[in-house]
């Protein structure tokens, strides 16, 4: 039997939240087994939320994630509205959609930039993050914040969009489309990126269904599921847009789904801004009756699911939060096994979890001769790209 | 199949296992079932109806532990929640559905450590979110959990 080596990855990485700890078992270059340990950042938010009033809980759960900070309040407010059985006013629905789509754009661009960085394509990284800045500026105009927008409350939204802001915002969104198109071509047509990401880390359709994978991870494997289309909420059923589905399930397809989704999101955001209905933005809810409700929405990484139970007091008795990465993470078992270590970094990154894994890596063989850290692993990955580039010249 | 047909089908197939059925709204159905029936109903819902397993959420009620298995059928926009009540006087255990749906693996591990429900037949019930040194028999999502219990949170020299 070949010599097996254990490669620990983790447990903490400051680049993105959610630290994880991977144990890769490798034979030479090949990964033969993987185990994941999470919970280093377990803050007990479900318990904490049960101690807050329904209004205050919105702020607590907004802090679950810094990148998709809107998806949790969105799902939570829908769950609370489901308990009462009300629909929010039309204008609130549109504004909720605008905020959620803006978040999707910046989240996907963030992922694209980081993926480029880990493959040794710092140009992609710089371009994607430059575009992301524009979107963050737009979000600042609309909500007052670059992140953690605090726009949501049970029964409506907290802050209205001013009519005089809209033309400037639409102009700004339109201005990023040409650059984004260029970036799309640069990524999708690049032969080196093809060589690095095509056929790598394949998640088959069967596995995707069995692991209950969500969002872009599932759609890249040919599972045509999107909560925005299947179970419309907000203003998604009033806008023309396409669901992006590819069928290979490799890293390349996951990137393609995300890039093309950015264009769809821009389309949705633009339409909603230009067709914003007038009227109330808040139902001014007085009390929450006893009962239970669920809310689920499509966050940038997949479906976010909240379950809230009320006993008639001003606090939830149970608040269950399920973030999309919770279902997407276990798919590593299906994608990483059989690949090489230098590809593991990008496969682990492809579901868009957090890169917490890649930086603090130590690779040891049994005799303890080699010792790599996270930077070495990124270097290893970048060197592979360089080699491929030389070959293609 | 539309919603009515599906509910009729579930009702006729699992007549003995269903305690009650609540048709809450056009997109939500709550079905109370007997705990031992979950391994019978899950394969049918997952494979035959093409549902996706969302999550299971555990709730600590006064006399019983409740687990809600949420399944969504996206084709017809229907969320079915199967409610299972486990009597606190008896052993808190239920059959695992991980062998049927791989995605339930982590979900059951989480409920196991936070609420102390044993999933029979689960391949790997290690800790998932709580630290390894967390004391045995202390379950943070139970109602009787005291936040600053000395037994629960130990001074780890931080």
Ramachandran sector of residue A240 (left: φ over 0; alpha: ψ -120 to 50; beta: rest): beta
Q: What is the DSSP letter of A165?
A: G
Report field, pTM of the whole predicted structure over 0.90: no
Interface test with B, best of A327, A329, A335 (most B CBs within 10 A): A327
The pLDDT, as a whole number, for residue A355 is: 34
Q: State how many domains chain A has.
A: 2
Mean pLDDT for the stretch of residues B140-151? 69
- In sign, the C-alpha dihedral spanning A274, A279, A285, A290 is negative
The pLDDT, as a whole number, for residue A384 is: 76
B131 CA to chain A: closest CA distance, Å?
A: 7
**Rounded Cα gap, residues A113 and A16, in angstroms:** 13
Residues of A in contact with B105 (CB under 8 A): 330
Whether residue B139 is contained in a domain is answered as no
Note whether A182 and A62 are same-domain residues: yes
B144 lies within 8 A of chain A by CB: no
Q: What is the DSSP letter of A294?
A: E
If you write DSSP's letter for every residue of chain B in order, what string do you get?
A: --HHHHHHHHHHHTTTTEEEEEEEETTEEEEEE-GGGHHHHHHIIIIIS--EEEEEEEEE-SSEEEEEEEEEETTTTEEEEEEEEEETTS--EEE--TTT-TTHHHHHHHHHHHH--EEET-S----SSS-TTPPTT--TTSTT--TT-TTTS-----
B68 lies within 8 A of chain A by CB: yes
Phi first, then psi: give them for residue B32, nearest 5 degrees: -85, 125
A352 CA to chain B: closest CA distance, Å?
A: 18
**Rounded Cα gap, residues A112 and A153, in angstroms:** 31
State how far the alpha carbon of B102 is from the alpha carbons of A249, A328, A334, B52, in Å.
Answer: 18, 12, 11, 12
Please compute, for residue A256, the number of CA atoms within 13 A of its CA located in the half-sphere on the CB side. Answer: 23
Whether residue A151 is contained in a domain is answered as yes
Note whether A166 and A184 are same-domain residues: yes
The pLDDT, as a whole number, for residue A344 is: 80
Hey, which residues does A23 pair with through a beta bridge? A8, A35
For A207, which residue in chain B has the nearest alpha carbon? B102
| Residues 69-108 in B contacting A (C-alpha not used; CB under 8 Å) | 70, 72, 74-75, 77, 79, 81, 101-107
Whether residue B125 is contained in a domain is answered as no
Domain that holds residue A175: 45-200+275-326
Note whether A289 and A387 are same-domain residues: no
B141 lies within 8 A of chain A by CB: yes
Whether residue A230 is contained in a domain is answered as no
For A302, which residue in chain B has the nearest alpha carbon? B54
A45 lies within 8 A of chain B by CB: no
Whether residue B59 is contained in a domain is answered as yes
Q: What is the mean pLDDT of chain A?
A: 84
Mean pLDDT for the stretch of residues A336-351? 79
Residue of B27, B70, B127 lying closest to A231 (CB–CB) = B27
Q: Give the pair of three-digit tokens for residue A270.
A: 């633009």
Note whether A305 and A358 are same-domain residues: no
State how far the alpha carbon of A139 is from the alpha carbons of A26, A78, A169, B99, in Å.
Answer: 44, 22, 9, 44
Contacts of A367 (CB under 8 A, 6+ apart): none
Portion of chain A with pLDDT greater than 70, in percent? 90
Whether residue A126 is contained in a domain is answered as yes
Give the CATH number for residue B18: 3.30.460.80
Neighbours of A187 (CB within 10 A): 21
Give the CATH number for residue A36: 3.30.390
Whether residue B29 is contained in a domain is answered as yes
Contacts of A117 (CB under 8 A, 6+ apart): A124, A125
Note whether A289 and A156 are same-domain residues: yes
Question: Among candidates B49, B50, B68, which has minimal Cα distance to B117?
Answer: B68
Q: State how many domains chain B has.
A: 1
**Rounded Cα gap, residues A84 and B88, in angstroms:** 30
Domain that holds residue B86: 3-120
Contacts of A78 (CB under 8 A, 6+ apart): A233, A293, A295, A296, A297, A306
Which residue has better confidence, B102 or A10?
B102
ipTM: 0.90
Whether residue B145 is contained in a domain is answered as no
Whether residue A287 is contained in a domain is answered as yes
Q: Give the pair of three-digit tokens for residue A217.
A: 């991870």
Q: Give the pair of three-digit tokens for residue A328.
A: 């997407």
Note whether A375 and A281 are same-domain residues: no
Highest-scoring range by mean pLDDT, A17-31, A171-185, A364-378: A171-185
Subunit contact A329:B68, Cβ cutoff 8 A:
no
| Residues 5-64 in B contacting A (C-alpha not used; CB under 8 Å) | 25, 27-28, 52-55, 57, 59
A1 CA to chain B: closest CA distance, Å?
A: 26
Note whether A13 and A57 are same-domain residues: no
A51 lies within 8 A of chain B by CB: no
Residue of B52, B107, B140 lying closest to A47 (CB–CB) = B140
Whether residue A225 is contained in a domain is answered as no
Whether residue A242 is contained in a domain is answered as no
A208 CA to chain B: closest CA distance, Å?
A: 9
B87 CA to chain A: closest CA distance, Å?
A: 19
For A303, which residue in chain B has the nearest alpha carbon? B54
Q: What is the DSSP letter of A190?
A: -
| Residues 52-111 in A contacting B (C-alpha not used; CB under 8 Å) | 82, 85
Residues of B in contact with A44 (CB under 8 A): 140
Subunit contact A44:B140, Cβ cutoff 8 A:
yes
Note whether A134 and A90 are same-domain residues: yes
Neighbours of A137 (CB within 10 A): 13
Subunit contact B128:A209, Cβ cutoff 8 A:
no
Identify the weakest region by mean pLDDT among A277-286, A335-344, A353-362: A353-362
Whether residue A374 is contained in a domain is answered as yes
Give the CATH number for residue A179: 1.10.645.10
Q: Give the pair of three-digit tokens for residue A224.
A: 């045509």
- The pLDDT tens digits for B87-130 are 988 888 999 999 999 889 888 998 998 889 999 999 888 888 88
Residues of B in contact with A237 (CB under 8 A): none
For A37, which residue in chain B has the nearest alpha carbon? B128
Subunit contact B103:A327, Cβ cutoff 8 A:
yes
The pLDDT, as a whole number, for residue A153 is: 92
Inter-residue contact B73 to B6 (CB < 8 Å): yes
Please compute, for residue A383, the number of CA atoms within 13 A of its CA located in the half-sphere on the CB side. Answer: 8
Residues of B in contact with A213 (CB under 8 A): 103
Whether residue A35 is contained in a domain is answered as yes
Whether residue B103 is contained in a domain is answered as yes
The pLDDT, as a whole number, for residue A362 is: 32
**Rounded Cα gap, residues B58 and B68, in angstroms:** 6
Mean pLDDT for the stretch of residues A190-215? 88
For B143, which residue in chain A has the nearest alpha carbon? A317
The pLDDT, as a whole number, for residue A77 is: 94
Residue B156's pLDDT band (cuts 50, 70, 90): very low
Interface test with A, best of B129, B130, B139 (most A CBs within 10 A): B129
């Amino acid at each position: 039997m070949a010599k097996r080596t254990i490669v620990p990855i983790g447990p903490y990485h400051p680049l993105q939240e959610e630290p994880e700890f991977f144990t890769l078992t490798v034979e030479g270059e090949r990964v033969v087994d993987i185990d994941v340990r999470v919970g280093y950042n377990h803050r007990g938010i479900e318990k904490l939320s049960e101690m807050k009033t329904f209004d205050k809980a919105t702020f607590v759960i907004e802090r679950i994630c810094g990148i998709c900070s809107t998806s949790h309040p969105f799902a939570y407010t829908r769950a609370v509205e489901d308990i009462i059985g009300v629909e929010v006013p039309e204008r609130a629905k549109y504004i909720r959609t605008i905020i959620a789509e803006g978040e999707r754009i910046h989240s996907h661009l963030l992922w694209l930039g980081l993926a480029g960085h880990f493959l040794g394509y710092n140009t992609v990284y710089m371009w994607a993050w430059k575009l992301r800045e524009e979107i963050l500026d737009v979000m600042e105009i609309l909500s007052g914040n670059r992140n953690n927008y605090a726009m949501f409350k049970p029964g409506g939204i907290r802050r209205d969009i001013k009519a005089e802001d809209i033309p400037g915002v639409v102009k700004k969104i339109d201005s990023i489309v040409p650059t984004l198109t260029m970036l799309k071509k640069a990524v999708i047509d690049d032969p080196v990126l093809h060589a690095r990401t095509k056929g790598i880390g394949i998640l088959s359709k069967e596995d995707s269904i069995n692991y209950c994978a969500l969002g872009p991870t599932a759609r890249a494997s040919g599972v045509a599921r999107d909560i925005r289309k299947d179970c419309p909420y907000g203003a998604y059923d009033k806008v023309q847009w396409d669901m992006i589905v590819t069928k290979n399930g490799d890293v390349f397809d996951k990137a393609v789904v995300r890039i093309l989704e950015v264009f769809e999101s821009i389309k949705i955001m633009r339409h909603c801004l230009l067709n914003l209905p007038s009227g109330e933005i808040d139902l001014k809810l007085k009390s929450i009756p006893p009962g239970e409700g669920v809310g689920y929405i499509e966050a940038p990484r997949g479906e976010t699911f909240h379950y809230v139970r009320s006993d008639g007091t001003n606090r939830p008795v149970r608040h269950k939060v399920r973030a999309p990465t919770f279902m997407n993470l276990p798919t590593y078992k299906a994608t990483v096994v059989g690949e090489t270590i230098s590809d593991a970094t990008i496969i682990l990154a492809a579901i868009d979890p957090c890169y917490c894994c890649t930086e603090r890596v130590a690779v040891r063989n049994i005799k303890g001769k080699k010792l790599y850290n996270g930077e070495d692993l990124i270097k290893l990955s970048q060197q592979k790209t360089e080699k491929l580039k030389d070959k293609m010249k | 199949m539309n919603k009515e047909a599906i509910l009729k089908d579930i009702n006729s197939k699992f007549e003995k296992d269903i305690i009650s059925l609540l048709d809450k709204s056009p997109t939500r159905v709550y079905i109370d079932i007997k705990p031992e029936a979950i391994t019978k109903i899950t394969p049918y819902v997952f494979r035959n109806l093409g549902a996706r397993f969302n999550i299971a959420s555990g709730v600590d009620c006064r006399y019983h532990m409740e687990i809600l298995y949420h399944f969504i059928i996206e084709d017809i926009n229907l969320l079915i929640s199967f409610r299972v009540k486990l009597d606190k006087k008896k052993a808190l255990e239920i059959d695992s559905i991980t062998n049927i749906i791989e995605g339930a693996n982590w979900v059951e591990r989480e409920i196991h450590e936070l609420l102390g429900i044993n999933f029979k037949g689960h391949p790997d019930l290690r800790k998932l979110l709580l630290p390894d040194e967390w004391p045995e028999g202390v379950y943070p999502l139970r109602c009787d959990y005291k936040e600053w219990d000395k037994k629960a949170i130990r001074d780890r020299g931080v």
